[in-house]
Amino acid sequence: MKFTELFLISLFIFSLICGIWFNSVFVYSMFAGMFLIIFYVFFTFFLVNNMSLISVFKKGSVNNLSSEQVTFSILSGFCYGISFVAITFKTLSWPGSLFFVIIALISLAISSITIVRQKKSGLIPANFYKNILRRNIGITLMVMLSLLFFKYPIYLK
């Protein structure tokens, strides 16, 4: 699962770098971004809880998870999906992409603040906390870098 995540992120970054250099390969970044969106929306629950896809079908595999863990993992998956929609829109210079970037940054900030507050209350295990916070920081950096490198549409140059 983690290998798939790293592969998709590296493919997305590689397609963005190729798009910057060759200026016509942004279609590949759109497809890589779409795969990342689907991956994060559907599989973040397994990633942040260190579960395999097969272990879900075993009886009692999710009994040790608290309701906060389930809620935060599902909501963080949607935050990550929104973030990659924002990055994809920004790289393709679509109108309204700044709106999605702002929504992505706000949702990641809310997610990070909430997870830190829950960690201080002791309801969330350290491993789960570390998994979500690490991804929040990484994806926030990617969104911020997309703001720096893709400032305005190509047709306005």
Residue 100: closest CA among 75, 113, 81: 81
- Percentage of the chain surpassing pLDDT 70? 91
If you average pLDDT over every residue of the chain, what do you get? 81
Backbone angles phi, psi at 37, to 5 degrees: -60, -50
Q: pLDDT value at position 105?
A: 92
Asked whether 128 and 74 are in contact (CB, 8 A), the reply is no
Q: Give 86-144 pLDDT, tens digit per residue.
A: 888 887 778 888 888 899 999 999 988 888 888 777 777 778 888 888 888 998 998 88
Q: What is the mean pLDDT of residues 26-37?
A: 79
Report whether pLDDT(151) > 70: no
Judge contact between 91 and 26, C-beta under 8 A: yes
What are the sequence ranges of the domains in the chain? Answer: 2-53+63-156
With a threshold of 0.85, does the pTM exceed it? Answer: no
Q: Which residue has the higher pLDDT, 65 or 139?
A: 139
* Lowest-confidence region among 3-7, 82-86, 142-146, 149-153: 149-153
Predicted confidence at residue 106, as pLDDT, reads 93
